[in-house]
Amino acid sequence: MKSSAMRDLMAITERPEVISLAGGLPDTSTFPPESLAALTAKMAATGAARALQYAPTEGMAAAKACIAEVMAAEDTPVDPEDILVTTGGQQVIDLVCKTLVDPGDVVVAEAPTYPGAVPTFMSYQADVVQIAMDDDGMRVDELEATLDRLDTEGRRPKFIYTIPNFQNPAGVTLSLPRRRRLVEVAKERELLVLEDNPYGLLRYEGDPLPTLHALDRGEFVIYLGTFSKILSPGIRIGWTTAPAPVLEKMNLGKQGADLCSSAFSQMFVASYFEHDHWQDYLQSLRDLYRRRRDTMLDALAEYFPREASWTRPQGGLFIWATLPDYIDTTDLLARALSHNVAFVPGRAAYLDGRGANSMRLNFSGVSDDDIRDGIRRIGEVVREQVDLYGTLTGSASAAAGAGDPSAPDPDLADVLHLPPRPSPGRRTDAR
Amino acid sequence: MSRVAVLKGGGSLERQVSLRSGARVEDALQRLGHEVIPIDVGGDLVARLRAEAPDVAFVAMHGRDGEDGTVQELLEILGIPYTASGVSACMRCADKVLAKHAMTDAGLPTPAFYSFTETAFKELGAAEALGAIEERLEFPIVVKPADQGSALGVKFAQSPADVAPALVAAFSYSHKVLLERHVHGRELAVSILGDEPLPVVEAVPREEDFYDFSARYTIGRTSFVCPAQLGDALTERAQSLALDVFRLLGCRGFARVDVMLEEGTDQLQVLEVNAIPGLTETSLLPMAADAADIDFDELVSRIVEMALQPV
Under the phi-then-psi rule, with left for phi > 0, alpha for psi from -120 to 50, and beta for the rest, what region is B150?
A: left
The two domains A4-24+281-417 and A47-275 share their CATH topology (first three levels equal)? no
Nearest chain A alpha carbon to B213: A5
Asked if the Cβ–Cβ distance from B153 to A335 is below 8 Å, we say no
Burial of B263 (0-12, 13-18, 19+ CB in 10 A): exposed
CB contact under 8 A, B172 and A4: no
Contact A331 B16 (CB under 8 A): no
What structural domains does chain B harbor?
3-84 (3.40.50.20), 92-108+183-308 (3.30.470.20), 113-181 (3.30.1490.20)
pLDDT at B311: 64
With beta carbons less than 8 A apart as the criterion, state whether B7 and B46 touch: no
Return the CATH number of A47-275, one of 3.30.465.10, 3.40.640.10, 3.30.70.890, 3.40.50.740: 3.40.640.10
**Chain B contacts in chain A segment 323-342 (CB below 8 A):** 326-328, 331-332, 334-335, 337
From the list B180, B217, B252, B301, the catalytic residue is B217
Q: Which one of B9, B12, B14, B173 is the catalytic residue?
A: B14
Omega before A422 within 30 of 0, i.e. cis = no
**Interface predicted TM-score (ipTM) over 0.95:** no
What Rg, from alpha-carbon coordinates, does chain B have? 19
In the set B21, B153, B278, B301, the catalytic residue is B278
Contacts A12 to B, Cβ<8 Å: 11, 13, 15
CA distance A22 to A116: 13
Instruction: Report how many Cβ contacts below 8 Å link chain A to chain B.
Output: 84
Q: Is B52 a catalytic residue?
A: no
Contact A385 B165 (CB under 8 A): no
Chain B residues with CB-CB distance to A394 below 8 A: 127
Give the chain B residue whose CA is nearest to the CA of A390.
Answer: B164
In chain B, residues with a C-beta closer than 8 Å to the C-beta of A3 are 214
Beta pairing class for A344-345 and A341-342: unpaired
List the single best residue of B65, B144, B168 to mutate versus A (max A Cβ within 10 A): B168
Fold of A4-24+281-417: Aspartate Aminotransferase, domain 1 (3.90.1150)
Annotation says B278 is catalytic: yes
Q: Model-level pTM?
A: 0.87
B168 and A326 within 8 Å at the Cβ level: the answer is yes
Q: Of B67, B180, B202, B272, which residue is the catalytic one?
A: B272
CB distance B144 to B96 below 8 Å: yes
- In chain A, where are the structural domains located? 4-24+281-417, 47-275
Distances (CA, A) of A215 to A136, A186, A196: 17, 12, 15
Q: Do A8 and B16 touch (CB under 8 A)?
A: yes
Tens of pLDDT, residue by residue over A41-70, are 999 999 999 999 999 999 999 999 999 999
> CA of A3 to nearest chain B CA: how many angstroms apart?
6
Collect all residues of chain A within an 8 Å Cβ-Cβ radius of residue B163: 392
Neighbours of A62 (CB within 10 A): 17
Residue B129 neighbours by CB under 8 Å, 6+ apart: B114
Hey, are the CB atoms on B172 and A388 less than 8 Å from each other?
Answer: no
Tell me the pLDDT of chain B (311 aa) as tens digits: 899 999 999 988 889 999 999 999 999 999 999 999 999 999 999 999 999 999 999 999 999 899 999 999 999 999 999 999 999 999 999 999 999 999 999 999 999 999 999 999 888 888 888 999 999 998 999 999 998 877 788 888 999 999 999 999 999 999 999 999 999 999 999 999 999 999 999 988 766 544 444 444 444 567 899 999 999 999 999 999 999 999 999 999 999 999 999 999 999 999 999 999 999 998 999 999 999 999 999 999 999 999 998 76
Nearest chain B Cα distance for residue A375, angstroms: 17
Kindly indicate the confidence band of residue A407, based on its pLDDT and cuts at 50, 70 and 90. very low
A 10 A CB-CB count for A426 gives 9
